[in-house]
Amino acid sequence: MVQDAAVTGTGTGLAIIGAGLAVIGAGIGIGRIGGQMVDAMARQPEAAATIQTGAIILAALIEGAALFGLVIALLKA
C-alpha cells in the first residue's frame, strides 16, 4: 500500500512537470514567432499583412499542440 502511494505520487509529480514544460515550450515558441514577425515586418513593410497572417496561424498551431500536451499530462496524473 505504501509503495503504491509513492509510485502514484511520483507519477503525479512528473505529470505536473510535463504539463509545465509543455506550457513553457509554447510560450517560448510564440515569443520567438512574435519577435521574428516584428523583425520581418520591419524589413519588408509591404508584406506585413501576409507575415502577420502566417504568424497568427503558427501561434495557433503551437498553442493547440501545447494544449494537447497539457491535457495528456494532466490525464496521466
16-54 pLDDT, tens digit each: 888 888 899 999 999 999 999 999 999 999 999 999 999
Range of the domain at 62: 2-76
Count H helices and E strands in the chain, helices first.
Answer: 2, 0
- The predicted pLDDT at position 4 comes to 54
- The predicted pLDDT at position 18 comes to 83
- The predicted pLDDT at position 70 comes to 87
Quick one: average pLDDT of 41-70?
A: 94
Sign of the dihedral defined by the CA atoms of residues 40, 24, 21, 23, in that order:
negative
Domain containing 40 — which CATH number?
1.20.20.10
Cα–chain-centroid distance for residue 29?
A: 7
* Domains of the chain: total: 1
